[in-house]
Amino acid sequence: MSIAYKLYRVVSPILTVVLLAFAYLYISNLVSQIDIDSLSLNWGWVILSALLFIIFYGIVSLNWLVSTRIFNKKSSDKQLLVFFASQPYKYLPTSLFIFSSRTVYAKKLGLGLKESSLAQLLENMSLFASNFALFGLFYLGSMHFGIMAAVATALVLAITVLYKKYPKVNLRLKSNSISIESKKLLQMFMIATLGWFVCGLSFLSLNYVLGINVDVLTLLAANTIAFSLSMLAVFAPGGIGVREAVYGFFAVSAAAIIYWRILVFIVDMVVGFISIAIINSISSRKRKTT
């Protein structure tokens, strides 16, 4: 048993306890901001919003799987679980925890440290590129739909030209150079773009729950960029504060922000710990058979 694994076995339970303690405080604070007595929700829209958010996670987990297979062609379909398993850890201080948890769980399912690190780098590049592109389109559309259509057309043409001109892209990391097929990068970009769009629909559904009249494209733009900027805030647990500030800039209702935070948090914890349990079970069975 390696020293690193022994250290992980000691630190992991401590981190889990810290995470659960923070989770309790975090959700208690959010719930305290709700006027329970006047609470009247259309649970059909609530369920739709939750389902759309889970579908969003399912889509972007495919983005992670494609990325892992660029660096390890034998990467298992079970790597999809790794994306879900890492979500609770984003509520710990700094993004290092979500990075390290992704690495740990990926290793349990057969992906090496270097491979998972490179896959995470490429995955995040794809998420940010698609996010900023989609935000730009939504924001332009909120001002003038024709401009959005023209820019979207130009973007598709530019991607088509680059795709044909550069069938492979060289990713240089220090002394190493990795050649990646452009179709894989395009596939990741399209998957991530679809994911962000579905995430926006989830947020839109939640606003309908509260009976809030919103400009659809402005709301989609706000939700899209809020996620990326909160991801860039590496020391803010779960992007707390950053995401709210972005929503506030776009005049999103305070009630919608609170309910959205609660919904996202619950989904993160439920799908996260279920996936962690499944991965640990698979890993345990694997150790017993070797």
Backbone angles phi, psi at 171, to 5 degrees: -100, 115
CA distances from 288 to 85, 187, 219 (A): 22, 37, 50
Q: Is the pLDDT of residue 211 over 90?
A: no
Ranking 12-26, 104-118, 225-239, 248-262 by mean pLDDT, the lowest is: 12-26
Maximum average pLDDT range among 20-24, 49-53, 113-117, 280-284: 49-53
Mean pLDDT of 153-166: 87
Q: Torsion-angle region of residue 112: left (phi > 0), alpha (psi -120 to 50) or beta?
A: beta
DSSP 173: E
**Dist. CA 203–CA 197, nearest whole Å:** 10
Mean pLDDT of 238-258: 84
Mean pLDDT of 81-86: 95
Q: Is the pLDDT of residue 8 over 60?
A: no
Higher model confidence: residue 290 or residue 265?
265
CA distances from 209 to 42, 46, 55, 284 (A): 6, 6, 19, 42
Q: What is the pLDDT of residue 167?
A: 78
Q: What is the pLDDT of residue 257?
A: 87
Q: What is the pLDDT of residue 34?
A: 64
Q: What is the pLDDT of residue 169?
A: 75
∠ Cα 69 70 74 (to 5°): 35
Q: Is the pLDDT of residue 1 over 50?
A: no
- pLDDT mean across residues, the chain: 85
Between helix 216-232 and helix 113-143 the angle, nearest 10°, is: 150
